[in-house]
């Protein structure tokens, strides 16, 4: 047992909305290590286009926002958590404004802010910065974080595993920090901390087509599972209905706000179709819209469908959607004059590491905040723009809990060092890329928008073989970033498949042809998976 390379009061793994806002909400007297897998702003939060949902209009209400969230969640939301998050929405928007985040106003010189409406919302309550809210939020908070002397930033560092001392003789069963790969040097570094926070985002890179950046490989869910944390509702993967379909676009997201401002979905012949699937048409929740598009594409054998906003004035489109307009122009598509080719793509992980109201996990001194966590807010389907709100609220909750308990929590006295004495450099890296491609293809084919028992069985058989091969490879060779991501993706894929096999109904984002009806009699509860090393003495409270 030796000392660590780095020691902090709080170690935050992840640099999106959750990680940055938590770091800035903690006292400046605490030393904070902030880990980013790539550049500080490379994550899902940065690419969030739509905005943040909060009750900011006099005609809206807390109860209405709660009701909409519960409806979208299809009976699986934790209502007390929903109320907590919604009630704290307005004050968190005020905190962002104080931090300098600039939102779009109603008029250039107006005092009020423009609120848009997205799928599942009964009112306009999504505050935004044009169509690049995430970029504005992350860039602003990043600048402040870089100016804070108590925050040490570690870019291009990838977490490998958490350090947990659970030996009975020590009597100190808690998270002690993490082993982290310095991607620039290739060296594994040991970080110890009084508190560790996972803010690593989602896992949508487990699928072939996704709106997510390359870093969204489910790292936090996988390492928390290996450390002994339960996970819940991993079968509920949200597929965004509208990503740009173009061979060079790399799954560029077309914000739901475009439909909120009147965009219409069209078949290749120009006819509308959403009225056949839901009375809310284009503003139905995302699971309904994604399945409708998937159904029509398969029925017609079409490569894509189309989203049209050409009936709006060109100046309106350019003003409200400057990023989408500019990006589409790069591919020769003028959205003021022609419809946008779109396809569904994996977008958001509604399940994750189980946490309580203060973001605490099953492992003492370990927290999970944001998309990596299962809080009970989203249930079987996330309502649009509730995700950034969840990041902000639970970052605040975690900060409150850490401040409450910091004085009674000591630094780890000893830390086991990373041992790589029995591994060598790999001479067959091609195995990693082959397995990565195979994994993402069969997850898309068998565990995608529409599932069946047979497809899930095939996927489970494939993932069992793949995990065995990856485990053998991992034990023999030095770790690399690609290997770590593949290992985590395989773990998360297995959790998604196992969760989907347990749910014998269709609800929210989980749709299976073998059980096409919703079953509120026997299935109205979260799907909880328990790891072999789970400690029942650490059951979460409310």
Residue 435 has pLDDT above 90, yes or no: yes
Q: What is the pLDDT of residues 365-392, one digit of tens each?
A: 999 999 999 999 999 999 989 999 999 9
> Which tokens in the block code for residue 470?
């990856």
Which of 174, 194, 259, 286 is catalytic? The answer is 286
Average of per-residue pLDDT across 79-99: 97
CA atoms within 13 A on the CB side of 358: 16
Distance CA 378, CA 370 (A): 11
- The domain made up of 430-516 has a fold known as Methane Monooxygenase Hydroxylase; Chain G, domain 1 (1.20.58)
- Give the three-class secondary structure for 519: coil
Residue 420 has pLDDT above 90, yes or no: no
CA neighbor of 99 nearest in space, from 128, 137, 149, 69: 137
- For the structural domain made of 6-235+350-408, what CATH number should be given? 3.50.50.60
Q: What is the pLDDT of residues 254-295, one digit of tens each?
A: 988 899 899 999 999 999 999 999 999 998 878 889 889 988
- Binned at pLDDT 50, 70 and 90, residue 414 comes out as confident
- pLDDT at site 112: 87
> Scanning the structure block, which residue is given the tokens 């297995």?
494
Contact 159, 35 (CB under 8 A): yes
What are the backbone angles phi and psi of residue 408, rounded to the nearest 5°? -95, 5
Residues of the chain with CATH 3.50.50.60: 6-235+350-408
Distance CA 150, CA 196 (A): 16
Residues of the chain with CATH 3.90.700.10: 240-347
Q: Mutual orientation of helices 430-446 and 481-502 as an angle, nearest 10°? A: 20
Q: State the first-to-last Cα distance of the chain, in angstroms, to the nearest integer.
A: 36
Q: What is the pLDDT of residues 92-150, one digit of tens each?
A: 999 999 999 999 998 766 668 999 988 789 999 999 998 889 999 999 999 999 999 99
Distance CA 465, CA 293 (A): 33
Residue 168 has pLDDT above 70, yes or no: no
- pLDDT at site 266: 98
- pLDDT at site 251: 72
Residues of the chain with CATH 1.20.58.100: 430-516
CA neighbor of 444 nearest in space, from 399, 496, 479, 372: 496
Strands (DSSP E) found in 114-173: 115-116, 126-127, 151-154, 157-165
- Considering the four listed CATH numbers 2.40.50.100, 3.40.50.300, 3.90.700.10, 3.40.640.10, the one that applies to the domain covering 240-347 is 3.90.700.10
Average of per-residue pLDDT across 493-520: 97
CA neighbor of 351 nearest in space, from 118, 542, 528, 533: 528
Residues 6 or more apart whose CB falls under 8 angstroms from that of 94 comprise: none
Percent of the chain with pLDDT over 70: 97
Annotated active-site residue 286? The verdict is: yes
Average of per-residue pLDDT across 509-531: 96
- Binned at pLDDT 50, 70 and 90, residue 189 comes out as very high
Average of per-residue pLDDT across 176-187: 96
- Give the containing element (helix H, strand E) for 446: helix 430-446
């Amino acid at each position: 047992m030796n000392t660590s390379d780095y020691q902090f009061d709080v170690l935050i793994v992840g640099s999106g909305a959750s990680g940055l806002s938590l770091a800035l909400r903690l006292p400046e007297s605490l030393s904070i290590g902030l880990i980013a897998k790539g550049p500080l702003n490379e994550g899902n939060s940065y690419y969030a286009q739509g905005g943040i949902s909060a009750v900011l209009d006099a005609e809206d209400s807390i109860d209405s926002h709660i009701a909409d969230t519960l409806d979208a969640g299809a009976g699986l939301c934790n209502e007390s958590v929903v109320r907590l998050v919604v009630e704290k929405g307005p004050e968190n928007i005020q905190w962002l404004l104080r931090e300098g985040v600039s939102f779009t106003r109603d008029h250039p010189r107006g005092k009020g802010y423009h609120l848009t409406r997205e799928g599942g919302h009964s009112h306009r309550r999504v505050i935004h910065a044009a169509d690049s809210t995430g970029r504005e939020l992350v860039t602003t908070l990043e600048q402040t974080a870089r100016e804070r002397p108590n925050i040490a930033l570690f870019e291009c560092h990838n977490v490998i595993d958490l350090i947990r001392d659970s030996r009975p003789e020590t009597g100190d069963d808690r998270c002690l920090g993490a082993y982290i790969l310095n991607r620039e040097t290739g060296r594994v570094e040991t970080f110890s901390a009084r508190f560790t926070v996972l803010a690593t985002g989602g896992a949508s890179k487990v699928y072939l087509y996704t709106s997510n950046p390359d870093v969204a490989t489910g790292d936090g869910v996988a390492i928390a599972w290996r450390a002994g944390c339960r996970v819940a509702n991993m079968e509920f993967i949200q597929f965004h209905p509208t990503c740009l379909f173009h061979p060079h676009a790399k799954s560029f997201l077309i914000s739901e706000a475009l439909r909120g401002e009147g965009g219409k979905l069209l078949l290749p012949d120009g006819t509308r179709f959403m009225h056949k699937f839901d009375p809310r048409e284009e503003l139905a929740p995302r699971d309904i819209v994604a399945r409708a598009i998937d159904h029509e594409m398969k029925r017609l054998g079409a490569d894509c469908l189309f989203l049209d906003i050409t009936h709006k004035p060109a100046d309106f489109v350019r003003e409200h959607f400057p990023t989408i307009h500019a990006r589409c122009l790069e591919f020769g598509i003028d959205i003021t004059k022609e419809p946008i080719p779109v396809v569904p793509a994996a977008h958001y992980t509604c399940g994750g590491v189980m946490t309580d109201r203060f973001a605490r996990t099953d492992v003492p001194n370990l927290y999970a905040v944001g998309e990596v966590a299962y809080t009970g807010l989203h249930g079987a389907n996330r309502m649009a723009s509730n995700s950034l709100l969840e990041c902000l609220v639970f970052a605040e909750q975690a900060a409150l809990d850490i401040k409450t308990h910091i004085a009674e929590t000591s630094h780890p006295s000893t830390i086991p060092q990373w041992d790589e004495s029995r591994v060598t450099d790999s001479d067959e890296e091609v195995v990693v890329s082959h397995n990565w491609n195979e994994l993402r293809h069969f997850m898309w084919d068998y565990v995608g928008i529409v599932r069946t028992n047979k497809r899930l069985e095939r996927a489970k058989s494939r993932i069992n073989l793949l995990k065995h091969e990856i485990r053998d490879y991992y034990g023999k060779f030095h770790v690399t970033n690609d290997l770590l991501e593949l290992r985590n993706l395989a773990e998360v894929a297995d959790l998604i498949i196992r969760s989907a096999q347990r749910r014998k109904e269709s609800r929210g984002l989980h749709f299976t042809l073998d059980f096409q009806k919703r079953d509120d009699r026997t299935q109205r509860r979260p799907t909880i998976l328990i790891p072999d090393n789970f400690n029942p003495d650490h059951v979460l409270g409310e």
